[in-house]
Amino acid sequence: MSFSDVFKSSFLSNVNTFSTLDVLLALGLSFVLGLFIFIIYKKTYQGVMYSDSFGVSLIAMSMITSLVIIAVTSNVVLSLGMVGALSIVRFRTAIKEPMDIAYLFWAIAVGIVLGAGLIALAVIGSVIIGVIIVIFSTRKIGDIPYILVVNCADADTEQRADSLIRAEAKKSVLKSKSVTSHGVEITYEVRIKEENTGFVNEISACEGVTNAVLVSYNGEYMS
């Protein structure tokens, strides 16, 4: 192969198989919709620790996916190589919130749809999904669960605390019990009545109770 044959290769000829304007339009729209997803994520986030980097990654995910889909649709051979290359990628970042998975799929879906040129579908679908997420995230669905930890001096104090918890809480489930030489520690998952936490003070004032802690619970809900 001579030096001039390099410039006649099929690799360089593929540069003109897609329109630069289409690429800029797809990346621009993917940035806008990715920013929309980021705003919805920031507005509706209800986890323990908010991460700005995850929100920015949603924008990048939309744009990167659009870029990949444009490349795949422009060349069949490239699409087969892309599938093989992406199949060896492994992501080991832990997803702490279930809704984070939904946002990741949303960002990827937007990138795929825009890369395929279905602009109306991407815009309308994103607006509908965003409205639904905002509506359901701002509504109170069921009672807020709490974790109640009580340290008791002996078994009699434990029984009194248990009776008081079951009488005052709307729903309570014993999660764990730890017995040591210093006393008994019991942990409950509780649903309180009308957000009234005054019964925790009553439990703490009971004779033999050394400590009572009530914390918000963001884990799995009771059935």
Going by their DSSP bridges, the two strands 209-216 and 183-191 should be labelled as unpaired
Compute the mean pLDDT over every residue in the chain, rounded to the nearest whole number. Answer: 78
H helices of the chain, in order, are 3-6, 10-13, 20-44, 52-74, 76-86, 98-115, 119-138, 155-168, 198-205
**CATH 3.20.19.10, domain 145-216, yes or no:** no
Tokens of 86: 């992406």
Q: Which amino acid is at 14?
A: N
Q: Please provide residue 183's backbone torsions phi and psi, each rounded to the nearest 5 degrees.
A: 145, -160
| pLDDT greater at residue 206 or residue 140 | 206
Structure tokens at 34: 């990715």
pLDDT of the residue at 17? 59
Can you name the residues that pair with 147 across neighbouring β-strands?
A: 189, 215
pLDDT of 198 reads 77
The confidence score (pLDDT) of residue 75 equals 63
Answer for the pair 209, 153: CB distance below 8 angstroms, yes or no. yes
Q: State the pLDDT confidence band at 7, using cuts at 50, 70 and 90.
A: very low
Residue 62 has pLDDT above 60, yes or no: yes
Q: What does the pLDDT read at residue 143?
A: 65
Q: Please name the residue that has the structure tokens 């059935």.
A: 223
Q: What is the mean pLDDT of residues 148-159?
A: 85
Q: What is the pLDDT of residues 74-85, one digit of tens each?
A: 665 566 556 555
Greatest mean pLDDT among 57-71, 141-155, 195-209: 57-71
Name the residue with higher pLDDT: 184 or 12.
184
Of residues 102 and 50, which shows the higher confidence score? 102
Dig out the tokens for 187 from the structure.
Answer: 């942990």
Contacts 24+ apart (CB under 8 A), 138-143: 138/44, 142/221, 143/170, 143/171, 143/191, 143/192
Q: For residue 6, which phi and psi values (nearest 5 degrees)?
A: -60, -40
So what's the pLDDT on residue 220?
43
The mean per-residue pLDDT over the stretch 43-50 comes to 74
Averaged pLDDT, 87-98: 64
Give the span between the Cα atoms of 165 and 171, in whole angstroms. Answer: 9
Residue spans per domain, the chain: 3-138, 145-216
Query: What's residue 221's pLDDT?
Result: 40
> In angstroms, rounded to a whole number, what is the distance separating the alpha carbons of residues 114 and 30?
7
Contacts of 100 (CB under 8 A, 6+ apart): 54
Give the pLDDT confidence score for residue 129 in this predicted structure: 92
How long, in residues, is the chain?
223
Q: Could you read off the pLDDT of 15-41 as tens digits, one per residue?
A: 555 677 888 888 899 999 999 999 999
Two tokens at 136? Answer: 């359901």
